[in-house]
Amino acid sequence: MEIRVLGPGCPKCQKTEQAVKDAVAEAGADATVEKVADVMEIAKYGVFGTPAVVVDGEVKSVGRIPPVEEVKKWLQKWNKEA
């Protein structure tokens, strides 16, 4: 699966990226984490506020740092469906 962290590089965005990476590592999920800093790329997702997390094209959180536990749930749900 493909996870994208949207955010131009403020401290909050970096923490979000870290949280997502931690979650992926802890869950041992097969996922790539990519940071998107380009403003136009971010706008394409229609998110009104950063940091935002997009999992396989689906916007999961906007404007906050998601806790590691929550990110793990997103990973699980996806794994079950697959």
Partner 1 sequence: MKERTKLLLIVLTFLACYYVPWDHAVIRQSGLEAFMMLQEYAREHVLTCLIPAFFIAGAIAVFVSQASVLKYFGATAKRILSYSVASVSGTILAVCSCTVLPLFAGIYTRGAGIGPATAFLYSGPAINVLAIVLTARILGWQLGLARAIGAVLFAVITGLVMAFIFRKDDASRTAGEMYLPDEEEKGRSLLQDALYMLTMVLILIFAAFAKPAVGSTGLWPAIFAARWYITIALLIVLAVMLKSWFTKDERVTWMQSTWGFMKQIFPLLAAGVLIAGFMLGRPGHAALIPDQYIQGLVGGNSLWANFFASLSGALMYFATLTEVPILQGLIGAGMGKGPALSLLLAGPALSLPNMLVIGGVMGAKKTATFCVIIVILSTIAGISYGWMAG
Residues near partner 1 (CB under 8 A): 6-13, 39-40, 42-50, 52, 59, 61-64
Burial (CB < 10 A; 0-12, 13-18, 19+), residue 2, is exposed
* Residue 13: active-site member: yes
CB nearer partner 1, residue 11 or residue 34: 11
> Active-site residue among 3, 5, 13, 19?
13
Site of tokens 């940071």? 35
Under 8 Å between Cβ of 67 and 25: no
Q: How far is the CB of 67 from partner 1 (least distance, A)?
A: 10
Q: Which residues are part of the catalytic machinery?
A: 10, 13
